[in-house]
């Protein structure tokens, strides 16, 4: 097999195929969503708001699990190193764990936290929790012990399923979590103290899942709008907020992704073929809605195989793609750049790649075209957020290559609009304003935070905080973020969180975090600080200070010191636009 050739510095300009598109987006939408068609829609009332939904969507997560077990039991579901788990084996482990959770006293509506790296146990735990009517709380596996303790406390988690690495962080703060009654720890290599038990004592090691008893999941009569998840998303001020999702929110993604694929083929004038299971290299963490709600749910429905990596490494990824004949990978633009630019790429057969998909961070238009020119694969991305349970807009193939700076158009059950800053007026085509979105994937609100819920969710719409515009054909372009957020390789860093830690340092009296451009990560955090008179601190000292309190990816990569307090407007807010050029000046002086 011929190996891939090196990428040029700049991808060639894309030329649209002759006769493309074969049909307009509106015509395709009408055909795909016609009465009796696979993507037929209906209107139902969700929390008092009439909402378009996919008529043929599954009603609950246990229904999805049963669908997978019935239609493709022998397909490989997950591959992790030498562990290969079929859908039937996964279902057996899920049903066994669900029964154990119920026996331990977990009831519908109880919160059960889940904190581990991407392991075969993750989808077992997630579906076991949600199949008994409990609410799964996936916690960021990169969080520190204090951050994990906050998520456990705020959600009121009654039980926790985690891996040994996370348990090492949580065990020292158990005294702060009196409500946490049950803990199941996966892959523990040392003895565990109560209340912790080995997960393997309940369901065994992954290699033995196929030998577990053949039992069904409990019949709970779960409705589509039953609460199912709390995913934490940090706000610009204060503690992280828990987005309260439903079974419908999550499962909407299955048909949204399938609809997007069918729409792409229809733009070429092609009839969508019967779906063929794919092999996916999944490198984004399952505690993100992109991986859980969009990737995982669609994979289970279609019978796709998900390959997990212990830690991202481009060369390991090349080996896996070649060995497992991976069809789809991606996650964030960083991943795509590293695959393209790594010097060892030509040593591997990557010809099985059909698509490189990503979201979660801005991407350069050149990346979109390089994916096509280097791999012969089709690029795709989408826009969504934790509050939208993942996908609202989707962008792929020729449409994406033609508009590489757009995040696409909404899926058929969703709407977007551009609003004035005060939220009172919809703006005309082409004008920049705040992006609002609605659809059946919008979460119910924030857990135990009615004030933030009222500010963000309005009559079925979510105020995203993103600044955007929409063109004449409905393609959305994210222009900037109104919320004070930095996205580093797909990971959200909220400025106030880092600034608060810097302020806690005894030498710091003024601090601000900004994002500085990074070619593959999108942006990185950098800080400007003012020290108290007579006090001193070094860049390394303050970086270590942040690392002691927050996850490592939130640590500023550069810290500049200013003799004056930071510039502020009349309302006392720091003018961050005046701070970013300081890093440009520093770089120029360094040269």
In b/e form, how buried is each residue of 352-369, taking b as 16+ CB within 10 angstroms?
bbebbbbbbbebeeebbb
pLDDT band at 236 (very low <50, low <70, confident <90, very high): very low
Statement to judge: residues 255 and 216 lie in one domain: no
Residues 323 and 386 in one domain: yes
Containing 356, the helix (H) or strand (E) segment is: strand 355-358
- What is the DSSP-derived secondary structure letter of residue 295? I
| pLDDT tens string 62-74 | 999 999 999 999 9
Q: Are residues 284 and 398 in the same domain?
A: yes
d(CA 76, CA 326): 13
- Quick one: tokens of 76? 């490989």
Length of the chain, in residues: 591
In a domain, 290, yes or no: yes
Q: How far is CA 125 from the centre of its chain?
A: 18
374 in Cβ contact with 340 (< 8 Å): yes
Q: What are the angstrom distances between the C-alpha of 465 and each of 13, 387, 416, 421, 505? A: 33, 11, 13, 10, 30
Do 323 and 414 lie in a common domain? yes
Indicate which CATH number applies to the domain containing 145. Answer: 3.40.50.980
> Of 246-250, 463-467, 476-480, which gets the smallest average pLDDT?
476-480
CATH at 491: 3.30.300.30
Angle at 135 between CA 166 and CA 76, to 5 degrees: 70
Q: Residue 148 domain-assigned?
A: yes
Please list the residues that pair with 468 across neighbouring strands.
433, 478
Block residue for tokens 């105020």 = 463
- Is residue 189 situated within a structural domain? yes
Whether residue 208 is contained in a domain is answered as: yes
The confidence score (pLDDT) of residue 9 equals 46
Residue with tokens 């139902």: 44
Residue at 15 is within a domain:
no
Q: Are residues 538 and 460 in the same domain?
A: no
The CA R_g of the chain, rounded to the nearest whole Å, is: 24
Which H helix or E strand runs over 458? Answer: strand 457-458
Give the chain's mean pLDDT.
Answer: 91
Say if residue 112 is in the same domain as residue 81: yes
Q: What is the CATH number of the domain that holds 420?
A: 3.40.50.12780
The kind and range of the H/E element at 182 are strand 182-186
Domain membership flag for residue 253: yes
- Cα–Cα distance between 25 and 161 in angstroms, integer? 44
Q: 16 in a domain, yes or no? A: no
Which strands make up the sheet holding 196-198, listed edge to edge? 196-198, 182-186, 159-163, 111-115, 135-138, 227-233, 241-246, 445-446
Closest by alpha carbon to 396, among 257, 254, 251, 255? 257
Token output for 175: 């005294």
Task: Decide which of 438, 455, 481 is a domain's last residue.
Answer: 481
pLDDT of residue 428: 97
pLDDT digits (tens, 9 = 90+) for 496-545: 789 889 988 989 988 999 999 998 888 999 999 999 888 899 999 999 99
DSSP letter assigned to residue 47: T
Tokens for 368, please give them: 């979109």
Identify whether residues 396 and 499 lie together within a single domain. no
User: What is the DSSP code (8-state) at residue 554?
Assistant: G
Residue 551 pLDDT > 80? yes
Q: 474 with 582, same domain? A: no
Say if residues 220 and 110 touch (Cβ distance below 8 Å): no
450 and 583, same structural domain?
no
What pLDDT does residue 8 have?
38
Query: What is the spatial distance between Cα 586 and Cα 583, in angstroms, rounded to a whole number?
Result: 5
| pTM reported for the whole predicted model | 0.87
Choose from 13-17, 132-136, 419-423 the range with maximum mean pLDDT: 132-136
The long-range contacts involving 142-146, CB below 8 angstroms and separated by at least 24 positions, are 142/285, 142/491, 142/551, 142/552, 142/553, 143/115, 143/169, 143/551, 144/169, 144/549, 144/550, 144/551, 145/169, 145/170, 145/172, 145/173, 146/173, 146/549
Q: Is the pLDDT of residue 453 over 60?
A: yes
65 neighbors 453 (Cβ within 8 angstroms): no
Total of domains in the chain: 3
The verdict on 475 and 490 lying in the same domain is no
Return d(Cα 410, Cα 433) in angstroms, integer.
Answer: 17
Under 8 Å between Cβ of 220 and 133: yes
Of 452, 481, 510, which residue constitutes the final position of a domain?
Answer: 481
Is there a single domain that holds both residue 432 and residue 491?
A: no
> What is the CA angle 582-585-586, rounded to 5?
85
Phi and psi at residue 232, to the nearest 5°: -85, 135
Q: Does some domain include residue 276?
A: yes
Say if residue 537 is in the same domain as residue 459: no
Q: Region 385-403: what's the mean pLDDT? A: 94
Q: What is the DSSP string of 485-541?
A: EEEETTEEEEHHHHHHHHHHSTTEEEEEEEEEEETTTEEEEEEEEEEPTT----HHH
Q: What is the pLDDT of residue 5?
A: 31
Q: Which domain holds residue 71?
A: 61-222
Region class of 160: left (phi > 0), else alpha (psi between -120 and 50), else beta: beta
pLDDT at 7 over 70: no
Residues 93, 128: Cα–Cα separation, whole Å: 9
Q: Where are the beta strands (DSSP E) in 201-344?
A: 227-233, 241-246, 279-282, 305-308, 328-331
Domain boundary among 446, 481, 516: 481
Place of tokens 């109560």: 194
pLDDT of residue 586: 58
Residue that is written with structure tokens 């709390």 in the block: 230
Token pair 């429905």: residue:
301
Residue 340's pLDDT band (boundaries 50, 70, 90)? confident
């Amino acid at each position: 097999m011929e190996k891939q050739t090196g990428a040029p510095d700049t991808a060639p300009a894309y030329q649209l195929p002759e006769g493309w598109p074969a049909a307009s987006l509106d015509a395709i939408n009408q055909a795909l969503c016609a009465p009796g068609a696979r993507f037929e829609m209906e209107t139902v009332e969700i929390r008092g708001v009439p909402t378009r939904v996919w008529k043929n969507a599954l009603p609950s997560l246990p229904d999805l699990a049963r669908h997978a077990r019935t239609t493709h039991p022998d397909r490989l579901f997950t591959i992790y190193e030498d562990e290969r788990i079929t859908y039937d084996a996964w279902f057996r482990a899920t049903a066994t764990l669900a029964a154990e959770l119920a026996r331990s006293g977990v009831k519908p509506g109880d919160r059960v936290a889940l904190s581990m790296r991407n392991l075969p146990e993750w989808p077992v735990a997630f579906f076991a929790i949600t199949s008994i009517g409990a609410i799964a709380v996936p916690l960021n596996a990169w969080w520190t012990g204090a951050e994990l303790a906050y998520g456990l406390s705020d959600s009121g988690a009654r039980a926790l399923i985690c891996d040994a690495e996370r348990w090492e962080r949580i065990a020292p703060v158990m005294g702060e979590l009196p409500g946490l009654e049950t803990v199941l720890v996966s892959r523990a290599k040392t003895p565990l103290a109560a209340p912790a038990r080995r997960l393997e004592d309940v369901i065994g090691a992954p290699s033995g899942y196929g030998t577990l008893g053949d039992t069904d999941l409990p019949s709970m009569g779960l409705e589509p709008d039953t609460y199912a998840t709390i995913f934490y998303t940090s706000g610009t001020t204060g503690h992280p907020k828990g987005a309260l999702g439903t079974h419908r929110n999550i499962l909407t993604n299955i048909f949204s992704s399938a609809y997007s694929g069918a729409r792409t083929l229809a733009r070429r004038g092609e009839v969508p073929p019967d779906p063929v299971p794919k092999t996916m290299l999944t490198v984004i963490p399952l505690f993100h809605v992109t991986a859980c709600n969009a990737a995982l749910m669609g994979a289970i429905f279609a019978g796709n195989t998900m390959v997990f990596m212990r830690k991202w490494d481009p060369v390991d990824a090349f080996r896996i793609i070649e060995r497992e004949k991976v069809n789809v990978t991606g996650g964030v633009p960083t991943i795509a750049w590293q695959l393209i630019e790594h010097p060892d790429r030509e040593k591997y057969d990557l010809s099985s790649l059909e698509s490189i998909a990503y979201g979660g961070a801005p991407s350069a238009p050149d990346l979109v075209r390089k994916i096509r020119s280097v791999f012969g694969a089709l690029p795709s991305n989408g826009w969504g957020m934790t509050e939208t349970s993942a996908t609202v807009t989707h962008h792929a193939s020729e449409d994406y290559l033609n508009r590489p700076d757009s995040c696409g158009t909404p899926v058929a059950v969703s709407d977007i609009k551009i609003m004035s800053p005060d939220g009172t007026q919809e703006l005309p085509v082409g004008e920049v304003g705040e992006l609002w979105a609605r659809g059946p994937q919008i979460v119910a609100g924030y857990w135990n935070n009615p004030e933030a819920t009222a500010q963000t969710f309005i009559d079925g719409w979510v105020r995203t905080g993103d600044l955007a515009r929409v063109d004449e054909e409905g393609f959305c372009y994210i222009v900037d973020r109104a919320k004070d957020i930095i996205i580093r390789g797909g990971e959200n860093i909220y400025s106030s969180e880092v600034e608060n830690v810097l302020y806690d340092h005894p030498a710091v009296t003024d601090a601000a975090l900004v994002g500085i451009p990074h070619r593959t990560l999108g942006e990185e955090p950098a800080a400007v600080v003012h020290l108290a008179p007579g006090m001193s601190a070094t860049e390394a000292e303050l970086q270590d200070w942040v690392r002691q309190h927050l996850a490592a990816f939130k640590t500023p990569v550069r810290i500049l010191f200013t003799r004056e307090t930071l510039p502020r407007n009349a309302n006392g807010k720091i003018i961050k636009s005046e701070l970013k050029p300081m890093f440009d000046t520093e770089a120029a002086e360094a040269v």
